[in-house]
Amino acid sequence: MDDTDTTFAVIGTGGIGRRALEVSQYKPDLTPVAACDKHGVAIDETGLDVEAVLAAIEDGPEPAETDGGQEVKRHGPDDGVVAAEEGTASDDPIGAIIEASDAIDAVLLAVPNYEHDFIPRVADRFVEGGFSGVLVDVLKRSRVIGMLEERATAFEEAGITFVCGAGATPGFLTGAAALAAQSFVEVESVDIWWGVGLKSGYEDNRGTVREDIAHLEGYDLETARNLSAAEVEEIVDDHGGVIEFTDMEHADDVLLERAGICAADAVTVGGVLDVRSDEKPTTTTVTVTGKTFDGERATNRFELDDATSMEANVNGPALGYLKAAVRRNRAGEYGVLGPAEILPAF
């Protein structure tokens, strides 16, 4: 295998997982060889037929219903990955990925973290299964970073490089804040403000919407996880389809602190989610204010173009961080890395 060639697996085929498979076709030297959801797994060590797998997940045996013209994932024991020609039903799809991990350089964990220790527990399984390679997640919660850091020695002994919070925020925007901070000798504040329009609505982004609802007053991860689809729709209706969030518990704060950029309490994260439109309700920005070496107080601002979708801003960076982490892993660098400590590879 060429040093630049990378094989990877995706755990979870909701909106983020499926788009990761799709985006991978535009990333040079990156080959998806496995994907799984809660009902099954598809593995082909020579490379999955991505278009066929996506079509099976979204269409199943009959044409899929659409939401605003966007195909959405079907949910059921005979739907999802199982419906693909390369798919097989499994009571333990993550275990099946681990069994095939000799052929896998990296794994993208594209699953919601409804239980704080879910992603760390999945990582434990890879350690116990003898995996040596890269794990990347797109988690959002600050408290999970500490759980992963507690496993750093185990990762190092296993030969695992774990990049945590490698999506949009935390991830892409955390990295942008780290770069913007380089003008300063002291960072006073980092403000991340995001706008997301979901073309396919709640049905195709269940995990994302529920994780965000958990930040609303009166909700937490447990209550959000236990909401019925009807209750989620009611919350969305109560907000007219557009929900604003402030002072979110996003891992950008601890990730910037562990990189030495600023104290965690200097970071604020908020944004606006439009569940019924593909138009962004507000522009995504990162604003870093600090003092320069010559005593000036200034602000650097990074702005994402409104034409870049959530799928593009999560999956492009996630796969870029994955590629960069594989290079680090092959060079013998193991343990836990944050998106402010590593630049993603294009």
**Residue 215 is among the residues annotated as catalytic for this protein:** yes
Round to whole Å and give the CA distance between 330 and 291: 38
The active-site residue out of 27, 215, 280, 323 is 215
The active-site residue out of 58, 211, 257, 311 is 211
Q: Prior bond to 32 cis, omega within 30?
A: no
Provide the 8-state DSSP code for 183.
G
**Residue 140 is among the residues annotated as catalytic for this protein:** yes
Cβ neighbours of residue 305 under 8 Å, at least 6 residues apart?
Answer: none
Phi and psi dihedrals of 47, rounded to 5? 120, 130
The active-site residue out of 27, 39, 73, 140 is 140
Cβ proximity of 172 and 311 under 8 Å: no
Bridge partner residues of 271 (DSSP): 194, 245
Round to whole Å and give the CA distance between 187 and 298: 10
Residue 176 Cα distances to 170, 191, 302, angstroms:
10, 11, 7
Cβ proximity of 89 and 95 under 8 Å: no
Catalytic residues: 140, 211, 215
